[in-house]
Chains A and B, each alone.
Chain A
Amino acid sequence: MTVTKNRTSGLGKDGAGSHVLEVRDLRVHYATPLGDVIAVNGVSLDVYEGETLGLVGESGCGKSTLAMAILRLVQPPGRIVGGQVRILGTDLVRLKDAELRQVRWSQVALIPQGAMNSLNPVMRVKNQIAEAIETHQGTRDPAELKERILRLLAMVGLPGRVYNMYPHELSGGMKQRVCIAMAISLAPSLIIADEPTSALDVVVQRVVAQTLLDVKRTLGVSMILIGHDMGLMAQLVDRIAVMYAGNIVEIAPVKDIFAEPLHPYTQLLLASIPSVKERKPLVVTEGLTHDLRRPPPGCIFQLRCPFVMDKCREVVPPLRELRPNHYAACHLY
């Protein structure tokens, strides 16, 4: 199938474990009249080939900004202040706009938040997908194009008649799957999906989540999955990066993080997952976050941390490898 063929040709020969994405010390600031808000504060992370990385954190922690920054899509008043974003070795931050357009979508695709509402309501599904392909690869033979679009639709589990339909004729879950089909249309090496299942009912959420899993398995594509639902993350991702106030506070394989969360914030996130298996007392915590324009000296979580020590108010804890492949930024260890 064309999709797979394109992909392997675009990839280097190095085998498993090689980096698809390397982010180094990425900083994004938003200008406000009262000073810059530090939305992404020196984030470094890697995404390996064929891996799904979950990026979790609460609203306002900078996870969507980080995703947009990886694609260099941060809009003013936001700007990338520093750092590197290397996709298969190319640093996107330094590319010229014209070169960047070649990389975007063909190497990294984005499924933005609320993607299903981003479809053009007056364009048939076939034309929207065709546009994505032809913008990057030039005009295609119509028969070949049709076959390719039908194959994409089949890959995300949609029936062929969706090809001729308008977005309003589709349910939320189906629209979301059309967006997934568009994201894989150019066989990217990396897909960034921002809350791909939010605003969907649980049953439909499960269908869409399985579609993502199937796509990943068939194409071997790497993914960054942004979300806040730890339950869903447990089902879908290989590694989790936990973000708080613009910083990554913990990053580890999903099983390790659920078995032994090291950072107090991760512990809090896991403790606040409501269960349907056992009724337990609520874990109530105060939710004061510092002013993002003026981060306090020391640890960013100090205001909410139950284990806060004097050291935390002075020294910024670095992200350290505390267990094999398990990194956390905390003075407790």
Chain B
Amino acid sequence: MSQPLLEVRNATKIYRGGFLRPGQQLVALQNFHLTIPEKPATITAIAGESGSGKTTLANLILGFIGLTSGQILYRGQDISVMSPQQKLQYTRQVQAVFQDPYAVYNPFYRVKHIFDLVIKNFKLAPNLHAARELIEDALKMVGMRGEEVLEKYPHQLSGGQRQRMMVARAYLLKPSLIVADEPVSMVDASLRAMILDIMLKLREQQNISFLYITHDLSTAYQVCDDIYILYQGSIAEKGDTVRVIENPKHPYVQMLIESIPVPDPNQKWDTNVTLPSEEELRSHVDVGCRFYPRCPYRMDRCLIKQPALFQIDSGDHQAACYLYDPAVPSAEAQAGVTEKPAANEAE
């Protein structure tokens, strides 16, 4: 295999307790692996609930914070030991789009300002005319026209328009990777599709890869190639998005997918389903599988050591669950597997 575009190797991030609580630790990301190939461009989803470590991962890749252990390699080069020259190149090649399209604009400047800054900082254009052409080109990519928007103030644009302008700003630098942290969660449902569609277009036509960080499995399912589902800082399940969502294997992922409201009033939630009390949802186990307190199929061995990623089938579909441990006599694991349809009756 050729050199990947971005590789995260065995990444661990631990936040240590601050001044008031010395000694307390929070493992935000644990032994995380991720590979984004150079070609073809892909959209990779990082999905999980709040607190699962997905934004920590984005901040690590963007270089806002440093790893506790492990490596992040961009085209084979460790980003923590880059020279200033390489670092500049990296910040240009890897762009970000954030969740809140309201907070990223300075309300006192016309929206043109965000483009002018980028062009100035990276010296993209020799003169104003060339700069304007670059901006128009980027705006065209997201279906907007300069004369319509550039002279406006941020409050005159809708959330969807602002978010498209952020994508245009990122595209201006012709990056190889865009880290999009919840880009559509604050955009209205009827306009979400437009932003997702722009992501697809940039992938197809411009060969730009995306790391799509989201809590929403349904939008990930619609646009992503690969998916990594995190639970409390570790990968619960990963693989081809369609396979993972249509046929989830990890008990946590099954529970997540089952909890998504079905948009059909004739298919009501089975209200007899009992969910664990929320104290259980919040409790942690320090060793062993972190999902143990909530898991309907928990076994004694889950408490001893955290499960590694086990292969589900011939593809890259993997789940971190002992139910899929090939080393175990399959009778026990199978017993767990066959029980599942009962818990999953909503399907």
- What are the residues of chain A within 8 A of B200 when measuring CB–CB? 282
- Also in contact, A235 and B262, with CB within 8 A (given A204-B281, A228-B188, A282-B222): yes
Residue A219 interfacial (CB < 8 Å):
no
Contact present for A283 and B193 (CB under 8 Å) = yes
Contact present for B218 and A276 (CB under 8 Å) = yes
Find residues 233-252 in chain A having any chain B CB closer than 8 Å to their own CB: 234-235
Contact present for B256 and A279 (CB under 8 Å) = no
Give the interface segment out of B16-24, B86-94, B269-277, B334-342. Answer: B269-277
Closest B residue to A206 by beta carbon equals B259
Identify the A interface with B (CB < 8 A): 58-59, 159, 171, 173-174, 201-207, 209-210, 213, 228-232, 234-235, 254-255, 258, 268-270, 272-276, 279-280, 282-289
Contact present for A285 and B49 (CB under 8 Å) = no
CB pairs A–B below 8 angstroms (17 shown)? A159-B279, A173-B278, A173-B281, A204-B278, A210-B275, A213-B271, A228-B189, A230-B263, A231-B260, A258-B265, A272-B189, A274-B218, A275-B221, A275-B263, A276-B245, A286-B194, A287-B194
- What are the residues of chain A within 8 A of B223 when measuring CB–CB? 282
Identify the B interface with A (CB < 8 A): 49-50, 158-161, 188-194, 196-197, 200, 215-219, 221-223, 242, 245, 255-257, 259-266, 268-269, 271, 275, 277-279, 281-282
Other contacts beyond A159-B279, A209-B269, A210-B271: 13, CB < 8 A: A159-B277, A171-B282, A201-B49, A205-B261, A231-B262, A235-B268, A268-B190, A276-B218, A279-B221, A284-B194, A285-B190, A286-B194, A287-B191
- What are the residues of chain A within 8 A of B261 when measuring CB–CB? 205-206, 209, 229, 231-232, 234-235
B297 CB to nearest A CB, Å: 17
Contact present for A279 and B278 (CB under 8 Å) = no
Contact of A206 among B192, B263, B275 (CB under 8 A): B275
Contact present for A58 and B188 (CB under 8 Å) = yes
Cα distance A282–B159 in the bound complex, in angstroms: 19
A322 CB to nearest B CB, Å: 19
Cα distance A203–B279 in the bound complex, in angstroms: 13
- What are the residues of chain A within 8 A of B275 when measuring CB–CB? 203, 206-207, 210
- Also in contact, A234 and B256, with CB within 8 A (given A274-B221, A287-B160, A287-B190): no
Contact present for B269 and A235 (CB under 8 Å) = yes
B160, B262, B266 interface centre (most CB from chain A within 10 Å): B262
- What are the residues of chain B within 8 A of A288 when measuring CB–CB? 158
